[in-house]
């Protein structure tokens, strides 16, 4: 119960009210919902039907994005990296010097400390996302620079850069395709499938369904699983081709992560290490978990089998934009503007909003964008079952009991 209360408290900090918009027909402009006539809610399934009727393709959507959006700007990319590093150093300095003393002062110190951990955790997410851009070759026009920055940003955060890149590329290639996508939703099953599972053979899936907010357990576990099971995910041929770089990136990750914890522990002690880095890393994992979830999952999201899946369905219909306060979007490098990133991974973070506007103008009925609110996350309290529709090759989500 305590964990749920903490999650709710953090989430209340994470989101604040911003104007809510809806996407209307192609003959109308975007208007405030307070002035709009009530319309049936748009869902992934309705968008799938529309893009299928129009025979829309992924290249067709890409052509709607200005060419300038695909070109990294050196000073913006390097400025982002420098900014994140300076903010990270400031966060460590502030946390180190923030007093935590026994007594009545804890009544104000603990809430302030939680807020500091949250902000510093968000900064660490931004540091990771600089590496994310680099691994997608959208940080620089030069490949070796992208590779260097990717390793520099991911290794200290317990991520083997090349392992992450190979498995993450699978997610982009097969978004929401059951049996191919490597994200946390591989754990979702139908009710009939669930009844056949056993705790001995399917412990992680059973536990995720048994515990509250089990989806976030799956997200955390999946981060580790993708690193350990990379050979099976990329295939034997690809693994043999990439084996030595995979080993190097994982070795570098262990060295960098171990060195950071050792130095903090050696100079600040165990509590100091946890205060300035260990707990903020946990906060960044939680924040990252929320961002991972909202990019493709909602109460009405769809998972496909091979019959129902296509690139345009996975990337356009099943990828969402959730808007947050501007300062949070700035810290997390607009990763919540997720749809254009799945239309093309070549778009740098600072051009995602421009690309998103272009897509909305060209295909206003096919873009799912809304302010992030608590009710958008309530479905995560209990992992849903899948329900298969044989006619469409799609899996809907239904509440589990």
Burial 10-21 (b: 16+ CB within 10 A, else e): bbeebbeeeeeb
Reported pTM: 0.86
Nearest 5°: CA angle at 358, between 353 and 364?
110
Q: Looking at the DSSP assignment, which residues form a beta bridge with residue 177?
A: 304
DSSP 229-262: THHHHH-HHHHHHHHHHHHHHHHHHHHHHHHHHH
Separation of alpha carbons 293 and 332, rounded Å? 15
Contact 328, 121 (CB under 8 A): no
Determine the pLDDT at residue 374.
84
Separation of alpha carbons 4 and 286, rounded Å? 12
Separation of alpha carbons 277 and 283, rounded Å? 10
* Domains of the chain: total: 1
Determine the pLDDT at residue 50.
86
Determine the pLDDT at residue 40.
57
Separation of alpha carbons 106 and 78, rounded Å? 40
pLDDT, mean of each 10-residue run, the chain (401 residues): 42 42 40 43 82 88 96 98 98 96 91 97 97 97 97 94 94 94 92 95 95 92 85 92 95 96 96 97 91 87 94 93 94 96 97 97 92 87 94 92 72
Contact 157, 147 (CB under 8 A): no
Q: Which domain holds residue 39?
A: 2-398
């Amino acid at each position: 119960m305590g964990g749920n209360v903490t999650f709710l408290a953090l989430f209340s900090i994470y989101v604040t009210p911003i104007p809510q918009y809806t996407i209307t027909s192609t003959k109308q402009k975007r208007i405030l919902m307070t002035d709009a006539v009530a319309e049936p809610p748009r869902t992934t399934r309705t968008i799938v039907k529309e893009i299928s009727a129009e025979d829309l393709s992924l290249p067709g959507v890409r052509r709607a994005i200005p060419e300038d959006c695909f070109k990294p700007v050196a000073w913006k990319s390097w400025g982002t990296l420098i900014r994140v590093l300076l903010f990270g150093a400031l966060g460590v300095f502030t946390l180190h010097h923030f007093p935590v003393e026994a007594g009545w002062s804890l009544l104000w110190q603990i809430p302030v400390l939680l807020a500091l951990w949250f902000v510093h955790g968000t900064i660490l997410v931004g540091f990771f996302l600089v590496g994310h851009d680099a691994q997608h070759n959208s940080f620089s026009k030069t490949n070796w620079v992208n590779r260097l920055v990717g390793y520099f940003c991911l290794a200290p955060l317990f991520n083997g850069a090349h392992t992450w890149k190979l498995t993450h590329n699978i997610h982009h290639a097969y978004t929401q395709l059951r049996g191919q996508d490597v994200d946390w939703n591989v754990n979702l099953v139908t009710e009939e499938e669930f009844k056949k599972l056993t705790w001995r053979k399917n412990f992680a899936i059973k536990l995720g369904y048994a515990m509250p907010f089990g989806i976030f357990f799956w997200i955390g576990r999946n981060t580790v699983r993708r690193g350990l099971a990379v050979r099976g995910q990329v295939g034997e041929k690809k693994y043999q081709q990439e084996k030595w770089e995979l080993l190097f990136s994982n070795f570098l990750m262990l060295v960098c992560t171990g060195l950071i914890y050792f130095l903090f522990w050696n100079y600040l002690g165990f509590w100091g290490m946890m205060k300035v880095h260990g707990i903020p890393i946990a906060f960044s994992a939680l924040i990252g978990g929320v961002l991972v979830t909202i990019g493709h999952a909602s109460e009405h999201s769809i998972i496909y089998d091979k019959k129902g899946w296509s690139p345009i369905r996975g990337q356009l219909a099943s990828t969402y934009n959730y808007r947050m306060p501007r300062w949070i979007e700035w810290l997390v490098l607009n990763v919540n503007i997720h749809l254009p990133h799945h239309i093309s991974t070549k778009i740098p973070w600072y051009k995602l909003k421009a690309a998103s506007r272009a897509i909305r103008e060209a295909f206003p009925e096919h873009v799912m964008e809304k302010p992030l609110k608590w009710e958008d996350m309530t479905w995560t309290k209990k992992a849903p079952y899948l329900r298969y529709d044989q006619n469409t090759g799609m899996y809907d989500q239904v509440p589990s009991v």
